[in-house]
C-alpha cells in the first residue's frame, strides 16, 4: 500500500515498504523531472518533526509569516487561546484601508484553519505553538469538532457546535 499526496508540483509519498516507495519514485521519475528531498520536513506551511513515538505537525512558521505580513510582529502573545473580550460585529469600526491586503490575510488564516480544525476558533487569538501529535494507534474512530464558537456570532445569533464522526478502516502512520 502506498499513499501519494499531490498539490500542484509538491508531492508526499509514503509506502508500506522502502522498495515499493523506490519503485514508485522510479516510475514517476521516468515521466517527470523530480527530486527526492528525503524525509518529510515541511509541506504547504506544515513543519513536520519526528520523535521516537511519532510525528509532530506545526504551522508555527506559517502563522508567524502571516503575522509579519499583517504588520503585527511586535504585538504581545496572548496567554489563552480563548476570546476574553466582547465579540466584534461586522458593522462596528471603520472599513479596512487596503481590501486586497485584508483579503490576502483572511485567505491565509482560512488556509491555516482548514488544515488545523482544532484551532479554527483559537487561531484569531495567536496560538502559534499549538500542533498536532500523530502516534501509531489501534483506535479506528475519529471524532472531530468544528465551529466551536459558531453560536457566539453577534450578527447572526446562531447557536451550537457541530460534531463530525468518522470510522476508519485502517490507520497508518
CB 151 within 8 A of CB 161: yes
Give the separation between CA 145 and CA 116, rounded to whole angstroms.
Answer: 11
pLDDT tier for residue 79 given thresholds of 50, 70 and 90: low
pLDDT of residue 121: 62
Give the separation between CA 2 and CA 21, rounded to whole angstroms.
Answer: 7
Instruction: Return mean pLDDT, the chain.
Output: 76
| Cβ-based burial of 35 (10 A; exposed 0-12, middle 13-18, buried ≥19) | exposed
Kindly list the distances between the CA atom of residue 4 and the CA atoms of 111, 142, 172, in Å, as whole numbers in the listed order: 21, 21, 13
Q: How far is CA 94 from the centre of its chain?
A: 30
Query: Looking at the predicted structure, is the pLDDT value of residue 143 above 80?
Result: no
Smallest CA-to-CA distance from 127 within 84, 64, 85 is with 64
| Residue 57 CB partners (closer than 8 Å, separation 6+) | 46, 47, 48, 131, 132, 133, 134
Query: Look-up: residue for cell 500542533?
Result: 131
More confident residue, 148 or 89: 89
Top-ranked range on mean pLDDT: pick from 81-85, 112-116, 136-140: 136-140
Record the pTM.
Answer: 0.57
Mean pLDDT of 33-43: 89
**Measured between alpha carbons, how far apart are the two ends of the chain, in Å?**
12
Amino acid at each position: 500500500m502506498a499513499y501519494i499526496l499531490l498539490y500542484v508540483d509538491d508531492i508526499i509519498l509514503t509506502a508500506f515498504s522502502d522498495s515499493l516507495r523506490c519503485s514508485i519514485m522510479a516510475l514517476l521519475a521516468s515521466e517527470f523531472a523530480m527530486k527526492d528531498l528525503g524525509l518529510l520536513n515541511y509541506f504547504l506551511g506544515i513543519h513536520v518533526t519526528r520523535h521516537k513515538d511519532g510525528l509532530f505537525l506545526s504551522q508555527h512558521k506559517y502563522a508567524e509569516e502571516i503575522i509579519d505580513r499583517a504588520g503585527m510582529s511586535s504585538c504581545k502573545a496572548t496567554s489563552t487561546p480563548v476570546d476574553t473580550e466582547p465579540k466584534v460585529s461586522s458593522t462596528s469600526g471603520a472599513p479596512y484601508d487596503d481590501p486586497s491586503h485584508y483579503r490576502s490575510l483572511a485567505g491565509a488564516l482560512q488556509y491555516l484553519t482548514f488544515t488545523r480544525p482544532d484551532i479554527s476558533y483559537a487561531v484569531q487569538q495567536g496560538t502559534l505553538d499549538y500542533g498536532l501529535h500523530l502516534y501509531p494507534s489501534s483506535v479506528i474512530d475519529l471524532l472531530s469538532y468544528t465551529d466551536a464558537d459558531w453560536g457566539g456570532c453577534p450578527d447572526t445569533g446562531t447557536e451550537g457546535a457541530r460534531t463530525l464522526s468518522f470510522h476508519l478502516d485502517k490507520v497508518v502512520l
